[in-house]
Amino acid sequence: MINQYPITDLYTADYEVRHTGKINGKTAEIFTLLGYRRQWSSTTSQGDIATYLVGGQQKINTPAVGTTYYINSTSVQDATGGSGVDRLRISYLDSTGAAQIVDANLNGTTAVSIGSGFTFINMMESWHSTTDDRESAGNITISSINGVATEATTMEMIRAGGNRSRSARYKVPTGKHAHLIDYHVSTAKLGAPATYEVNARALVFNDSADGIATSYHFLKGVMMVDGAQHTDEFHYKELPAGSIVKLCVIPSSAADGNVVTCSLDMIVMDD
């Protein structure tokens, strides 16, 4: 049994969510993480897979309630009338840990305040308000400073040419729990040859799904070489509210261009 639901029912969860939005009468949705990183600062410690981590640090940044955050782009074209995008949708957790969504207007390289009250950013996406099929012209960031974002001040990023952030981490909202389904990882060599220890980790102990740990523990792991791909199942490992799951890599070479991309699927449902 997992959270009072028979495991046989959970194996039909994907079908039920897509067709009814519920599992055993509980509201549920499928959430997919995407991850991308190509610059590393260490070959001996876990490096979180997040687009904005460009080599100076290994860990993702977490927002703080009371801090005002700003959005902007490195291109003036990401604005109304430009050739890029002009709107953002941000999925985040508020001060109570509840899931929220906010939409905001971009103004190119001019920073726009999106307020405070953020405790975690799960994802952001972009589009153009009047023109179809647009990608970002520049790197779009959520930053804690009113100016040019740095690695240390960035909470989330959409890379130029894309329309969704790819930071492979997720925090389970208050009143919900998550069941991890599967993940896919691929590597590419643009820099020095490398091997990659890719790990999925979460703030839970693996002998129980009843509470949150104080540090990240391994859920799955694989050793990979340049140009490899790997897919595996989580068999519906449960994460309680407040826990964070993320994918991390220890590369054997920290050269710029040793790329790791990944995706992770989960079902997020009411308790």
Structural domains of the chain, with CATH: 7-59+169-270 (2.60.120), 69-158 (no CATH)
pLDDT of residue 235: 87
Tell me the CA distances in angstroms from 156 to 73, 139, 229, one per residue in order: 12, 10, 26
Stretches in the chain below the pLDDT threshold 70? 1-11, 209
- What integer pLDDT is reported at residue 2 of this predicted model? 42
**Residue 226, pLDDT score:** 96
pLDDT for 14 equals 76
* Tokens 């925090």 sit on residue: 171
Is the CA virtual torsion 102, 147, 145, 39 positive or negative? positive
Beta-carbon count within 10 A of 145 CB: 15
In one letter, which amino acid is 25? G
User: What confidence score (pLDDT) does residue 23 get?
Assistant: 85
pLDDT given at position 209: 66
What number of residues does the chain have? 271
* Whole-number pLDDT of residue 66: 94
pLDDT of residue 80: 96
What pLDDT shows up at residue 84? 98
What is residue 4's predicted lDDT score, i.e. its pLDDT?
A: 45
Q: pTM for this one?
A: 0.93
- Are 246 and 62 contacting, i.e. CB atoms less than 8 angstroms apart? no
